[in-house]
Amino acid sequence: MSAVPESAAAIASAVGSGELRAVDVVRSSLSRIETLNPVFNAFTDVTADRAMAEAESVDAAIAVGADLPLAGVPFAVKNLFDIKGLVTRAGSKINLENLPATTDATLTTKLCRAGGILMGGLHMGEYAYDFTGENAHDGNCLNPHDPGRMSGGSSSGAGSAVASGMVPVTLGSDTNGSIRVPSSFCGLFGLKPTYGRLSRHGTFPFVGSLDHLGPLARSAQDLALVFDALQGRDISDPAQPDRPVLSTGGELVKGTDGLRIAVAGGYFRQKAEPEALAAVDAVANALGVSAEIDIPEAARARASAYVITVAEGAALHLERITNRPQDFDPDTRDRFLSGTMVPALWVQQAQRFRSWFRAMMRGIFEHVDALLAPATPFSALPSGTKTITLDGETMPARPNIGLFTQPISFIGLPVVAVPVWLEEASLPIGVQVIAPAWREDIALRIASRLEQDGTCKAPVAARRAELVSQGT
């Protein structure tokens, strides 16, 4: 068998041309999962038998001339996605008592129809209320670039599995930053599409007003390949409007010529460690960007998202948090308990402010095509970190890792998180490339350009000697 390429695009090309068999790709992925998962704890369920059966089907289809854009590409999903035959964990203990899912989530089905191979379900923070990758029930998911540090969350396994090379692509969810934070900490390209772009049917929710799904990968091309396969109307998701599909794969070659790009100033230049600002500056320099635009009221946007999240999340879990709080992860339990006590008026004003902030940002996007901002205030924190100090202010770590992601998802703008390795840095850090609503193509073009010129890269982490000998 030929060596299995690391990227989804290369795998799909090789399998599609018959140069490589999907069953060999899957065996390679299973081997890496078997070796590396005990180290990083990225997978909670491995669907090995299903994966082999799907790979055989893909090989048979290719043999008779099928055209499958994701032929033989192994992928895995955050364990809030329904997987037929498995209980949908959502990172919890309580949901393990539910019946197994009878069908896959819509997005899983779409990837499998495109030739993708589902490898299993991935670790996450309980009920997605997390930025760390720590989970009292399942243990901590670790960062492949430094197992002493957080993977980031709540799509923790989605970050760790791709960064360690177990699979080239994963699907996560992002309510306040849960794709972009692990992308930053694990050094990946992550796409949080426009709110309403991708169907959420068949996934366990957190905050319906703010929940998004999207892919994590190690290249902009892989993000585009998967994003194009994920799109399409699904009337089962009440938040999905009837929009035309945006084909992005062919757009990447356009580069950034003609795009007006600016650095997000004000709020997005405060409460950040030097590496976060340096990463934004490195990206801006590579793109020849010198303009900086203040984003008015970003702090209020973040505060509004905070209020909506705690109240709407608590409403979802009211029966569970009322009757069996002891079965929650302590780190989410106390936040959900507090969310049951939020006055309705606080939430309503936050939702009204959301409309105001959206209108204001639409005005900014009349003058620019994209904005650059840090994805996280710092590189991956050591596991167990409880407090952080930013601009001299000490605050709880868990809710504040998403300081810079939260105002953006609040109004549903599409973002590609791009990974930067600063000179002599031992850890990556992400930068948000923020585009106007429904223009994922712009963010992906910029990400691709940054990848092409070497400003951004997402190498497989597990190449250290002790892991190479076991994992390949």
Partner 1 sequence: MSAEFDANSHVAHMEKIMGLAIEDDWRPVVEAHIAATQKAAELVLSFPLGEDIEAAPVFEA
Task: Render the burial of 431-464: b for 16+ CB within 10 Å, e for the rest.
Answer: bbbbbbbbbbbbbbbbbbbbbeeebbbbebbbee
Binder of partner 1 out of 211, 297, 312, 451 (CB under 8 A): 297
Q: Which amino acid is at 256?
A: T
**Per-position x/- string for 175-204, each x denoting binding to partner 1 as judged by CB under 8 A, each - no binding:** ---------------------x--------
Q: 319: how many CB neighbours lie within 10 A of its CB?
A: 8
Q: Does residue 354 bind partner 1 (CB under 8 A)? A: yes
Q: Does residue 387 bind partner 1 (CB under 8 A)? A: no
Supply the minimum distance, in Å, between the C-beta of residue 390 and partner 1: 15
Kindly indicate which of the ranges 8-16, 113-121, 277-285, 350-358 contains the residues binding partner 1, using the contact rule CB under 8 A.
Answer: 350-358
The smaller minimum CB distance to partner 1, of residues 280 and 361, is found at: 361
- Give me 472's structure tokens: 């390949």
The smaller minimum CB distance to partner 1, of residues 266 and 399, is found at: 399
Residue positions annotated with a catalytic role: 78, 154, 178
In the numeric block, the tokens 């050591």 are attached to 382
Q: Which distant-in-sequence residues (6+ apart) come within 8 Å of 252 by Cβ?
A: 220, 221, 224, 444, 445, 448
Q: Which distant-in-sequence residues (6+ apart) come within 8 Å of 469 by Cβ?
A: none
The smaller minimum CB distance to partner 1, of residues 18 and 343, is found at: 343
Q: Does residue 209 bind partner 1 (CB under 8 A)? A: yes
Supply the minimum distance, in Å, between the C-beta of residue 248 and partner 1: 25
Question: Coil, helix or strand for 191?
Answer: strand
Supply the minimum distance, in Å, between the C-beta of residue 334 and partner 1: 4
Residues 226-255 that bind partner 1 (CB under 8 A): 238-239
The smaller minimum CB distance to partner 1, of residues 139 and 396, is found at: 396
Supply the minimum distance, in Å, between the C-beta of residue 139 and partner 1: 22
Supply the minimum distance, in Å, between the C-beta of residue 18 and partner 1: 45
- Give me 322's structure tokens: 């009322």
Q: Which of 169, 136, 137, 131 is nearest to 150 (CA)?
A: 131
DSSP state of 95: G
CA dist 359 → 113, 352, 365, 366, 409 (Å): 38, 11, 10, 11, 14
Kindly indicate which of the ranges 14-22, 76-84, 343-351, 379-387 contains the residues binding partner 1, using the contact rule CB under 8 A.
Answer: 343-351
Residues of this chain that bind partner 1 (CB under 8 A): 196, 208-209, 238-239, 297, 299-300, 302-304, 306-307, 310-311, 321-322, 325-326, 330, 333-335, 337-343, 345-346, 348-356, 358, 396, 399
